[in-house]
Protein backbone atom coordinates (compact mmCIF):
# COMPACT_ATOMS: atom_id res chain seq x y z
CA UNK A 1 0.00 0.00 0.00
CA UNK A 2 1.23 3.48 -0.82
CA UNK A 3 1.55 4.99 2.64
CA UNK A 4 2.25 8.54 1.53
CA UNK A 5 -1.10 8.62 -0.23
CA UNK A 6 -2.83 7.43 2.92
CA UNK A 7 -1.52 10.28 5.01
CA UNK A 8 -2.05 12.91 2.30
CA UNK A 9 -5.71 12.15 1.99
CA UNK A 10 -7.84 14.46 4.18
CA UNK A 11 -10.08 12.86 6.80
CA UNK A 12 -13.76 12.38 5.92
CA UNK A 13 -16.67 14.40 7.31
CA UNK A 14 -20.41 14.10 6.96
CA UNK A 15 -22.71 16.93 8.03
CA UNK A 16 -26.16 15.86 9.18
CA UNK A 17 -29.17 18.04 9.96
CA UNK A 18 -32.03 16.86 12.16
CA UNK A 19 -35.08 18.64 10.80
CA UNK A 20 -37.28 18.12 13.87
CA UNK A 21 -40.32 20.34 13.40
CA UNK A 22 -40.96 23.00 16.06
CA UNK A 23 -43.73 20.79 17.52
CA UNK A 24 -41.28 17.87 17.87
CA UNK A 25 -38.71 20.07 19.65
CA UNK A 26 -41.41 21.40 22.01
CA UNK A 27 -42.53 17.86 22.77
CA UNK A 28 -38.93 17.03 23.73
CA UNK A 29 -39.40 19.52 26.58
CA UNK A 30 -42.85 18.39 27.64
CA UNK A 31 -44.73 21.06 25.64
CA UNK A 32 -47.36 20.56 22.96
CA UNK A 33 -47.67 21.22 19.24
CA UNK A 34 -48.73 19.64 15.96
CA UNK A 35 -46.90 19.15 12.67
CA UNK A 36 -49.46 21.41 10.88
CA UNK A 37 -48.67 24.40 13.14
CA UNK A 38 -46.61 27.35 11.92
CA UNK A 39 -43.02 26.18 12.11
CA UNK A 40 -39.85 28.31 12.14
CA UNK A 41 -37.68 25.22 11.63
CA UNK A 42 -39.17 24.65 8.19
CA UNK A 43 -40.04 28.25 7.39
CA UNK A 44 -36.71 29.84 8.42
CA UNK A 45 -34.03 27.38 9.53
CA UNK A 46 -34.06 24.96 6.59
CA UNK A 47 -33.89 27.75 3.95
CA UNK A 48 -31.08 29.42 5.98
CA UNK A 49 -29.13 26.17 6.18
CA UNK A 50 -29.63 25.53 2.44
CA UNK A 51 -28.19 28.97 1.74
CA UNK A 52 -25.27 28.29 4.08
CA UNK A 53 -24.46 24.93 2.44
CA UNK A 54 -24.78 26.48 -1.02
CA UNK A 55 -22.27 29.17 -0.08
CA UNK A 56 -19.84 26.58 1.27
CA UNK A 57 -20.37 24.04 -1.53
CA UNK A 58 -21.36 21.32 0.96
CA UNK A 59 -23.75 18.41 0.34
CA UNK A 60 -25.39 17.37 3.61
CA UNK A 61 -27.85 14.80 4.93
CA UNK A 62 -31.24 15.97 6.24
CA UNK A 63 -33.06 13.61 8.65
CA UNK A 64 -36.79 14.30 8.46
CA UNK A 65 -39.82 13.23 10.50
CA UNK A 66 -42.58 11.45 8.56
CA UNK A 67 -45.41 13.51 10.11
CA UNK A 68 -43.74 16.67 8.74
CA UNK A 69 -43.29 15.17 5.27
CA UNK A 70 -47.08 14.84 5.00
CA UNK A 71 -47.72 18.56 5.57
CA UNK A 72 -48.07 20.05 2.04
CA UNK A 73 -46.21 23.35 2.63
CA UNK A 74 -43.35 21.51 4.35
CA UNK A 75 -43.12 19.14 1.40
CA UNK A 76 -42.31 22.09 -0.86
CA UNK A 77 -39.35 22.99 1.34
CA UNK A 78 -38.11 19.41 1.36
CA UNK A 79 -38.26 19.41 -2.43
CA UNK A 80 -35.84 22.35 -2.36
CA UNK A 81 -33.53 20.29 -0.13
CA UNK A 82 -33.52 17.53 -2.75
CA UNK A 83 -33.15 19.96 -5.66
CA UNK A 84 -30.03 21.37 -4.01
CA UNK A 85 -28.46 17.89 -4.12
CA UNK A 86 -28.71 16.97 -0.45
CA UNK A 87 -29.65 13.57 0.92
CA UNK A 88 -32.96 13.08 2.75
CA UNK A 89 -32.97 10.37 5.43
CA UNK A 90 -35.47 8.84 7.88
CA UNK A 91 -35.94 10.24 11.41
CA UNK A 92 -39.06 8.14 12.35
CA UNK A 93 -42.71 9.01 11.80
CA UNK A 94 -43.73 10.60 15.12
CA UNK A 95 -40.37 11.51 16.69
CA UNK A 96 -41.07 9.27 19.71
CA UNK A 97 -38.22 10.02 22.10
CA UNK A 98 -38.38 6.68 23.83
CA UNK A 99 -37.85 4.68 20.68
CA UNK A 100 -35.21 2.53 22.37
CA UNK A 101 -37.87 1.24 24.75
CA UNK A 102 -40.69 0.64 22.28
CA UNK A 103 -41.98 -2.79 21.35
CA UNK A 104 -40.52 -4.20 18.18
CA UNK A 105 -43.81 -3.72 16.27
CA UNK A 106 -43.95 -0.04 17.21
CA UNK A 107 -40.31 0.44 16.23
CA UNK A 108 -41.11 -1.13 12.90
CA UNK A 109 -44.08 1.15 12.21
CA UNK A 110 -42.16 4.28 13.30
CA UNK A 111 -39.42 3.49 10.79
CA UNK A 112 -41.52 2.07 7.95
CA UNK A 113 -44.32 4.68 8.14
CA UNK A 114 -41.74 7.42 7.68
CA UNK A 115 -40.14 5.43 4.86
CA UNK A 116 -43.54 5.13 3.16
CA UNK A 117 -44.19 8.88 3.51
CA UNK A 118 -40.80 9.67 1.96
CA UNK A 119 -41.49 7.37 -0.98
CA UNK A 120 -45.06 8.57 -1.57
CA UNK A 121 -44.54 12.29 -1.08
CA UNK A 122 -40.94 12.85 -2.20
CA UNK A 123 -40.19 9.67 -4.21
CA UNK A 124 -37.16 9.13 -1.99
CA UNK A 125 -35.89 5.75 -0.83
CA UNK A 126 -34.03 6.75 2.34
CA UNK A 127 -30.83 4.81 3.02
CA UNK A 128 -30.14 6.11 6.50
CA UNK A 129 -31.96 6.43 9.81
CA UNK A 130 -31.52 8.26 13.10
CA UNK A 131 -33.69 7.42 16.11
CA UNK A 132 -35.13 10.43 17.95
CA UNK A 133 -33.23 11.19 21.16
CA UNK A 134 -30.24 9.05 20.05
CA UNK A 135 -32.09 5.96 21.28
CA UNK A 136 -30.17 3.30 19.40
CA UNK A 137 -31.36 -0.23 20.22
CA UNK A 138 -31.11 -3.78 18.95
CA UNK A 139 -34.70 -3.82 17.53
CA UNK A 140 -33.92 -0.57 15.67
CA UNK A 141 -30.82 -2.08 14.05
CA UNK A 142 -32.64 -5.30 13.18
CA UNK A 143 -35.56 -3.48 11.54
CA UNK A 144 -33.10 -1.39 9.53
CA UNK A 145 -31.11 -4.43 8.43
CA UNK A 146 -34.20 -6.35 7.42
CA UNK A 147 -35.54 -3.44 5.39
CA UNK A 148 -32.48 -2.75 3.32
CA UNK A 149 -31.20 0.38 5.02
CA UNK A 150 -27.51 1.14 4.51
CA UNK A 151 -26.74 2.91 7.76
CA UNK A 152 -27.92 3.95 11.19
CA UNK A 153 -26.80 7.23 12.76
CA UNK A 154 -28.54 6.93 16.16
CA UNK A 155 -25.53 6.21 18.32
CA UNK A 156 -24.19 8.97 20.56
CA UNK A 157 -21.19 7.20 22.12
CA UNK A 158 -20.83 9.49 25.12
CA UNK A 159 -20.11 8.82 28.78
CA UNK A 160 -22.17 11.82 29.80
CA UNK A 161 -25.65 10.53 28.96
CA UNK A 162 -26.84 10.56 32.58
CA UNK A 163 -25.70 14.19 33.07
CA UNK A 164 -27.45 15.28 29.87
CA UNK A 165 -30.61 13.43 30.90
CA UNK A 166 -30.52 15.14 34.30
CA UNK A 167 -30.28 18.56 32.66
CA UNK A 168 -33.10 17.72 30.22
CA UNK A 169 -35.27 16.63 33.16
CA UNK A 170 -34.58 19.85 35.07
CA UNK A 171 -35.73 22.04 32.19
CA UNK A 172 -38.57 19.82 31.01
CA UNK A 173 -41.89 21.09 32.39
CA UNK A 174 -43.81 17.90 32.95
CA UNK A 175 -42.28 15.53 35.49
CA UNK A 176 -42.10 12.05 34.06
CA UNK A 177 -42.30 13.23 30.44
CA UNK A 178 -39.99 11.40 28.03
CA UNK A 179 -36.35 12.46 28.08
CA UNK A 180 -33.89 11.88 25.21
CA UNK A 181 -31.72 8.86 25.81
CA UNK A 182 -28.48 10.71 24.95
CA UNK A 183 -26.68 7.43 24.59
CA UNK A 184 -27.46 4.36 26.68
CA UNK A 185 -24.96 3.32 29.35
CA UNK A 186 -23.74 0.44 27.19
CA UNK A 187 -22.81 2.89 24.43
CA UNK A 188 -20.14 4.64 26.45
CA UNK A 189 -17.51 2.19 25.27
CA UNK A 190 -18.66 1.53 21.71
CA UNK A 191 -16.71 2.77 18.71
CA UNK A 192 -16.71 6.51 18.12
CA UNK A 193 -15.95 6.17 14.42
CA UNK A 194 -18.16 4.29 11.90
CA UNK A 195 -18.31 0.50 12.12
CA UNK A 196 -20.28 -2.38 10.60
CA UNK A 197 -22.97 -3.77 12.85
CA UNK A 198 -23.52 -7.53 12.92
CA UNK A 199 -27.05 -8.25 14.10
CA UNK A 200 -26.59 -5.41 16.55
CA UNK A 201 -23.34 -6.82 17.94
CA UNK A 202 -20.51 -4.31 17.62
CA UNK A 203 -17.59 -5.22 15.45
CA UNK A 204 -14.53 -3.45 14.11
CA UNK A 205 -14.68 -1.24 11.04
CA UNK A 206 -12.89 -3.76 8.83
CA UNK A 207 -14.84 -6.89 9.57
CA UNK A 208 -15.59 -7.84 5.99
CA UNK A 209 -17.50 -10.95 7.03
CA UNK A 210 -19.89 -9.01 9.25
CA UNK A 211 -20.34 -6.59 6.38
CA UNK A 212 -21.40 -9.32 4.00
CA UNK A 213 -23.96 -10.81 6.37
CA UNK A 214 -25.40 -7.59 7.77
CA UNK A 215 -24.45 -4.74 5.49
CA UNK A 216 -25.60 -2.05 7.92
CA UNK A 217 -23.13 0.57 9.02
CA UNK A 218 -23.32 2.53 12.23
CA UNK A 219 -22.26 6.15 11.73
CA UNK A 220 -22.12 7.55 15.29
CA UNK A 221 -22.65 11.20 16.14
CA UNK A 222 -19.12 12.50 16.80
CA UNK A 223 -17.94 13.15 20.36
CA UNK A 224 -14.51 14.31 21.55
CA UNK A 225 -12.02 11.41 21.29
CA UNK A 226 -10.77 11.31 24.89
CA UNK A 227 -13.52 12.52 27.18
CA UNK A 228 -16.26 11.54 24.73
CA UNK A 229 -18.05 14.80 25.37
CA UNK A 230 -20.69 15.88 22.82
CA UNK A 231 -19.69 18.72 20.51
CA UNK A 232 -22.58 18.82 18.04
CA UNK A 233 -25.41 21.30 17.51
CA UNK A 234 -26.68 23.40 20.38
CA UNK A 235 -24.31 21.80 22.91
CA UNK A 236 -21.36 22.94 20.79
CA UNK A 237 -22.90 26.42 20.48
CA UNK A 238 -23.13 26.63 24.30
CA UNK A 239 -19.53 25.53 24.76
CA UNK A 240 -18.23 27.94 22.13
CA UNK A 241 -16.43 28.05 18.81
CA UNK A 242 -13.01 27.43 20.29
CA UNK A 243 -14.11 24.22 21.97
CA UNK A 244 -15.83 22.92 18.82
CA UNK A 245 -12.89 23.79 16.54
CA UNK A 246 -10.48 21.98 18.89
CA UNK A 247 -12.79 18.96 19.03
CA UNK A 248 -13.07 18.92 15.22
CA UNK A 249 -9.27 19.05 14.94
CA UNK A 250 -8.78 16.20 17.43
CA UNK A 251 -11.37 14.02 15.67
CA UNK A 252 -9.68 14.71 12.32
CA UNK A 253 -6.28 13.61 13.66
CA UNK A 254 -7.36 10.52 15.59
CA UNK A 255 -10.67 9.10 14.35
CA UNK A 256 -10.25 10.60 10.84
CA UNK A 257 -14.03 10.61 10.45
CA UNK A 258 -16.37 13.34 11.65
CA UNK A 259 -20.15 13.20 11.85
CA UNK A 260 -21.14 16.76 12.71
CA UNK A 261 -24.83 17.10 13.60
CA UNK A 262 -26.90 20.29 13.57
CA UNK A 263 -30.58 20.58 14.47
CA UNK A 264 -32.85 22.88 12.47
CA UNK A 265 -33.84 24.39 15.82
CA UNK A 266 -30.20 25.37 16.42
CA UNK A 267 -30.52 28.27 13.98
CA UNK A 268 -34.00 29.46 15.03
CA UNK A 269 -34.30 32.77 16.87
CA UNK A 270 -35.20 31.70 20.42
CA UNK A 271 -36.56 35.11 21.38
CA UNK A 272 -39.23 34.98 18.73
CA UNK A 273 -39.91 31.26 19.01
CA UNK A 274 -39.68 30.14 22.65
CA UNK A 275 -39.63 26.37 23.12
CA UNK A 276 -39.81 26.55 26.90
CA UNK A 277 -39.63 29.54 29.25
CA UNK A 278 -37.42 31.22 31.86
CA UNK A 279 -33.73 30.49 32.38
CA UNK A 280 -33.87 27.19 30.50
CA UNK A 281 -34.99 29.00 27.35
CA UNK A 282 -32.35 31.74 27.67
CA UNK A 283 -29.63 29.21 28.37
CA UNK A 284 -30.48 26.54 25.79
CA UNK A 285 -32.00 28.58 22.98
CA UNK A 286 -30.44 31.99 23.62
CA UNK A 287 -28.68 34.05 20.95
CA UNK A 288 -30.34 35.49 17.87
CA UNK A 289 -30.89 33.37 14.79
CA UNK A 290 -28.21 35.41 13.00
CA UNK A 291 -25.62 34.79 15.75
CA UNK A 292 -26.35 31.10 15.70
CA UNK A 293 -26.16 30.87 11.92
CA UNK A 294 -22.82 32.69 11.99
CA UNK A 295 -21.48 30.14 14.48
CA UNK A 296 -22.52 27.12 12.40
CA UNK A 297 -21.25 28.75 9.20
CA UNK A 298 -17.83 29.21 10.81
CA UNK A 299 -17.74 25.60 12.06
CA UNK A 300 -18.87 24.13 8.71
CA UNK A 301 -16.40 26.30 6.84
CA UNK A 302 -13.60 25.05 9.12
CA UNK A 303 -14.73 21.45 8.52
CA UNK A 304 -14.74 21.96 4.76
CA UNK A 305 -11.19 23.29 4.92
CA UNK A 306 -9.79 20.29 6.77
CA UNK A 307 -11.98 17.37 5.67
CA UNK A 308 -13.41 15.83 2.56
CA UNK A 309 -17.14 16.51 3.13
CA UNK A 310 -19.44 13.93 1.55
CA UNK A 311 -23.09 12.92 1.73
CA UNK A 312 -23.52 10.09 4.23
CA UNK A 313 -25.21 7.73 1.73
CA UNK A 314 -22.46 8.26 -0.85
CA UNK A 315 -19.73 7.57 1.72
CA UNK A 316 -21.45 4.41 2.99
CA UNK A 317 -21.96 3.25 -0.60
CA UNK A 318 -18.23 3.66 -1.14
CA UNK A 319 -17.51 1.57 1.98
CA UNK A 320 -19.96 -1.13 0.89
CA UNK A 321 -17.98 -1.47 -2.29
CA UNK A 322 -14.86 -2.01 -0.21
CA UNK A 323 -13.58 1.54 0.40
ZN1 LIG B 1 -34.83 14.63 16.38
CB 47 within 8 A of CB 80: yes
Predicted pLDDT of residue 220: 93
Rg (C-alpha) for the chain, rounded Å, is 18
CA of 207 to the centre of ligand 1 (A): 30
CA of 306 to the centre of ligand 1 (A): 27
Task: Report d(CA 155, CA 219) in Å as an integer.
Answer: 7
Task: Report d(CA 16, CA 152) in Å as an integer.
Answer: 12
The CA angle 33-296-91, to the nearest 5 degrees, is 40
CB 146 within 8 A of CB 107: no
5 part of a folded domain: no
| 190: exposed, middle or buried (Cβ count in 10 Å: 0-12, 13-18, 19+) | middle
CA of 64 to the centre of ligand 1 (A): 8
Nearest CA-CA partner of 25 in 82, 97, 73? 97
2 part of a folded domain: no
Task: Report d(CA 231, CA 149) in Å as an integer.
Answer: 27
| 60: exposed, middle or buried (Cβ count in 10 Å: 0-12, 13-18, 19+) | buried
CA of 125 to the centre of ligand 1 (A): 19
CA of 19 to the centre of ligand 1 (A): 7
Nearest CA-CA partner of 91 in 23, 16, 20, 38? 20
- Residues 193-223 have pLDDT tens digits of 998 886 444 444 444 444 445 579 999 999 9
235 part of a folded domain: yes
Predicted pLDDT of residue 71: 98
287 part of a folded domain: yes
6 part of a folded domain: no
Low-confidence ranges of the chain (pLDDT < 70): 1-7, 171-189, 198-214
1 part of a folded domain: no
CA of 209 to the centre of ligand 1 (A): 32
72 part of a folded domain: yes
Predicted pLDDT of residue 2: 45
Looking at the structure of the chain, the number of domains it has is 1
pTM reported for the whole predicted model:
0.90
CA of 129 to the centre of ligand 1 (A): 11
298 part of a folded domain: yes
Q: What is the three-class DSSP state of 32?
A: coil
Task: Report d(CA 126, CA 114) in Å as an integer.
Answer: 9
Nearest CA-CA partner of 292 in 284, 83, 186, 106? 284
CA of 9 to the centre of ligand 1 (A): 33
Residue 235 sits in a domain whose CATH number is 3.20.20.370
CA of 91 to the centre of ligand 1 (A): 7
CA of 17 to the centre of ligand 1 (A): 9
CB 117 within 8 A of CB 35: no
CA of 134 to the centre of ligand 1 (A): 8
CA of 267 to the centre of ligand 1 (A): 15
Q: Which domain holds residue 119?
A: 11-320
Amino acid sequence: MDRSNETDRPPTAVIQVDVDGFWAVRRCYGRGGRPEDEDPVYREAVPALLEMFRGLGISATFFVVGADVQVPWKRKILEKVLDAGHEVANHSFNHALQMGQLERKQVESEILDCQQALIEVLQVQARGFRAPGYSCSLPVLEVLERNGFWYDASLLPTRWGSVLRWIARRISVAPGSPVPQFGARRNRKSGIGPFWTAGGAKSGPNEKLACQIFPLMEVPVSVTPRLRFPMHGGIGFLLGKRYVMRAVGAIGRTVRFLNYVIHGMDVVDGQRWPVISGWGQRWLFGGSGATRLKFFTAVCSHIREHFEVVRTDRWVERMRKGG
